[in-house]
């Protein structure tokens, strides 16, 4: 229900200190304690929490369905606040990034499966050529090129390769180096995301009043601007060319993210400079999130060697039934899907989710009015360890969600990519991550390649996964963990 009432600013209880010069950064080191305290006191309600960058109103995930009734224009992403001066505020100008992912990207996942599998194999083989022995390689160094390569399939293809006839495209075994010959664009695409994070973290260390000045002096922002120039130099002509074709009603020559953006953009969204920024936003939303989630899955797999054979059998059965990777193959991997979801449950990337700004006041069904301009968030981490939602919440049960799907009527629920009003995994409804099906497919394909082509393990003597690292709202897997790959006899 929309409301015009403005509650008093102090109407909500607070956890932790208010924003203050002396105690501003307490959240950095005590985030988990504060979020757990908030959950134990106000699990079904709301409270305020200062999180270094903003004063948030933490609300229960139980209100997701109610908030979903608001238009997206009233519940905005908080990117412009969290990543100020990075150009990422483009996502707040319209929902174009959502539309291209939820629409054409998702529709194209099935047909891309085989090609993506080959790209991952190719990336791994290239990587393995650079080390004399397949012994104790950094997990992140293995996964990153494979994910980048998958991602380039949808984002970067057009820079180098005209659209191929469908059959040829899908049957090509190694679509190969042509696809990503432009090293400059590739390093810009991935580097931009890192720089955005780094630059915004650096800016946060300065008082908000001086940020507009300091931003011009910071090295990290200079680096960001120069990356943006490279991205513009490479992408602008491509967008201009495609816009011309669109304006002349020519049929699109390509099937890729650039084309989907051009096809879907209306009005000012279609300006080439804005399309470049939108591409960079999509990079940021997609690559790191997928890489971190996949890293967690492999860290959990190596800690449970007994699950590898079970998953390998499921994969081989699926491939046999389908005669290779078809659109129907990935959804068949239900045990793997369950493993991935359990891994994500116990390794949430952030303690909070649904980072949104409310542009209208809104009254919840419990009578609480959320003021206009509140920065909303939901506590995710304590939810995933709440016994009332997950029996034995601290136990890693690889088949937890698989077993739930065995119940009548529940077969299609509890999936890695499922969106449920009771679960803030991807948030909900029109606010849910629109790239989740592509992320699911990529991670499944990565596991398939690594399990079918290799024996994987922790280095000798290690059986446990390394601890995650907590920094403020973030919870990151180890980036220094090595894993051992041994090629399986074919
Ligand atoms: C495992 C990997 C991923 C995770 C955990 C993840 C998680 C999320 C979450 C929780 C949100 C909602 C944020 C909010 O409501 O405040 C979101 C939004 C978004 N995600 Fe993902 N995501 C992943 C992968 C991807 C991929 C692969 C893409 C694109 C190819 C993508 C594109 C987006 C976009 C465009 C948005 C913003 C949508 C909007 O405008 O509302 N994500 N993601």
Quote ipTM for the complex. 0.98
What is the predicted pLDDT for the residue at 163?
Answer: 33
Q: Mean of the pLDDT values across residues 347-375?
A: 95
Closest residue by Cα to atom 4, ligand 1, is 289
9-487 is a CATH 3.20.20.105 domain: no
What is the predicted pLDDT for the residue at 92?
Answer: 92
**With bands split at pLDDT 50, 70 and 90, how would you rate the model's confidence at 343?**
very high
Per-residue tokens: 19? 């924003």
Alpha carbons 489 and 232: distance in angstroms, whole number? 46
Helix (H) or strand (E) segment spanning residue 379? strand 375-379
Residue with the two structure tokens 């290690």 = 462
| Ligand 1 site, CB within 6 A | 77, 91, 95, 97-98, 101, 105, 282, 285-286, 289-290, 293, 349, 353-356, 426-427, 431, 433-436, 438-439
Which residues, 6+ apart, have CB-to-CB distance to 446 below 8 Å? Answer: 120, 143, 146, 147, 150, 294
Q: Provide the mean pLDDT of the chain.
A: 86
Residue 440 CA: nearest ligand 1 atom is 1
Q: 147, 139 in Cβ contact below 8 A?
A: no
> What is the Å distance from ligand 1's center to 98 Cα?
9
236-262 confidence digits (pLDDT tens): 888 898 889 888 887 766 777 888 899
**With bands split at pLDDT 50, 70 and 90, how would you rate the model's confidence at 159?**
very low
Residue with the two structure tokens 């011309």 = 244
Alpha carbons 475 and 300: distance in angstroms, whole number? 15
**With bands split at pLDDT 50, 70 and 90, how would you rate the model's confidence at 18?**
confident
Pocket of ligand 1, candidates 68, 378, 435: which has the most ligand atoms within 8 Å of its Cβ, to mutate?
435
Closest residue by Cα to atom 38, ligand 1, is 98
389-420 confidence digits (pLDDT tens): 999 999 999 999 999 999 999 999 999 999 99
Feature table: binding site for heme: 433
Closest residue by Cα to atom 18, ligand 1, is 433
Closest by Cα among 296, 343, 283, 341 to 148: 283
Helix (H) or strand (E) segment spanning residue 92? none
**With bands split at pLDDT 50, 70 and 90, how would you rate the model's confidence at 160?**
very low
**With bands split at pLDDT 50, 70 and 90, how would you rate the model's confidence at 318?**
very high
Rounded to 5°, angle at Cα 173 from 168 and 177: 95
Q: Mean of the pLDDT values across residues 24-52?
A: 92
3-class DSSP state for residue 371? coil
**With bands split at pLDDT 50, 70 and 90, how would you rate the model's confidence at 234?**
confident
Q: Mean of the pLDDT values across residues 106-110?
A: 88
Q: 357, 57 in Cβ contact below 8 A?
A: no
Residue 154 CA: nearest ligand 1 atom is 30
Of 2-16, 24-38, 61-75, 372-386, the poorest mean pLDDT is in 2-16
Question: Could you tell me the CA-to-CA distances from 35 to 46, 82, 147, 272 in Å, in that order?
Answer: 12, 19, 32, 42
3-class DSSP state for residue 252? coil
Rounded to 5°, angle at Cα 114 from 108 and 120: 105
Q: Mean of the pLDDT values across residues 267-274?
A: 95
171-210 confidence digits (pLDDT tens): 222 122 233 446 677 777 778 888 898 899 899 888 888 9
Of 48-57, 120-129, 209-218, the poorest mean pLDDT is in 120-129
Query: What is this structure's pTM?
Result: 0.91
């Amino acid at each position: 229900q929309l409301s015009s009432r403005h509650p008093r600013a102090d109407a909500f209880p607070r956890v932790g200190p208010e924003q203050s010069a002396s105690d501003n950064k307490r959240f950095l080191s005590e985030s988990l304690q504060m979020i757990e305290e908030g959950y134990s006191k106000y699990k079904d309600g709301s409270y305020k929490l200062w999180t270094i960058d903003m004063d948030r109103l933490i609300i229960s995930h139980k209100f997701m369905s109610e908030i979903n009734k608001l238009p997206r224009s009233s519940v905005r992403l908080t990117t412009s606040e969290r990543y100020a001066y990075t150009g990422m505020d483009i996502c707040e100008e319209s929902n174009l990034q959502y539309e291209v992912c939820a629409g054409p990207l998702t529709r194209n996942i099935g047909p891309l499966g085989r090609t993506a599998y080959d790209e991952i194999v190719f990336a791994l083989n290239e990587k393995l050529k650079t080390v004399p022995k397949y012994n104790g390689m950094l997990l992140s160094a293995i996964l990153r090129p494979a994910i980048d390569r998958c991602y380039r399939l949808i984002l970067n293809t057009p820079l180098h390769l005209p659209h191929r006839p469908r059959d040829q495209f899908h049957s090509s075994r190694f679509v190969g180096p042509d696809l990503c010959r432009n090293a400059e664009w590739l390093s810009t695409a991935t580097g931009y995301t890192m720089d955005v994070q780094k630059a915004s973290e650096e800016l946060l260390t300065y008082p908000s009043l001086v940020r507009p000045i300091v931003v011009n002096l910071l090295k990290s922002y200079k680096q960001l601007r120069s990356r943006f120039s490279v991205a513009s130099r490479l992408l602008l002509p491509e967008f201009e060319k495609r816009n011309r074709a669109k304006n002349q009603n020519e049929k699109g020559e390509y099937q890729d993210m650039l084309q989907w953006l051009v096809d879907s953009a209306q009005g000012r969204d279609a300006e080439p400079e804005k399309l470049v920024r939108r591409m960079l936003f999509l990079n940021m939303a997609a690559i790191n999130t997928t890489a971190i989630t996949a890293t967690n899955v492999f860290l959990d797999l190596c800690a449970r060697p007994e699950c590898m054979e079970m998953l390998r059998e499921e994969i081989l059965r699926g491939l046999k039934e389908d005669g290779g990777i078809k659109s129907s193959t990935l959804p068949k991997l239900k045990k793997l899907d369950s493993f991935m979801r359990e891994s994500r449950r116990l390794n949430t990337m952030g303690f909070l989710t649904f980072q949104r700004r409310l542009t209208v006041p809104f009254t919840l069904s419990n009578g609480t009015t959320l003021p206009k301009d509140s920065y909303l968030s939901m506590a995710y981490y304590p939810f995933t360890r709440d016994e009332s939602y997950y029996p034995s919440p601290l136990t890693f049960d690889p088949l937890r969600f698989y077993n739930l799907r065995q119940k009548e009527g529940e077969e299609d629920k509890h999936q890695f990519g499922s969106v449920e009003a009771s679960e803030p995994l991807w948030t909900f409804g029109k606010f849910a991550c629109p790239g989740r099906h592509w992320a699911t497919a990529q991670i499944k394909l990565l596991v398939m390649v690594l399990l079918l082509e290799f024996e994987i393990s922790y280095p000798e003597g290690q059986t446990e996964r390394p601890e995650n690292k907590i920094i403020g709202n973030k919870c990151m897997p180890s980036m220094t963990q090595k894993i051992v790959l041994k090629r399986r006899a074919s």
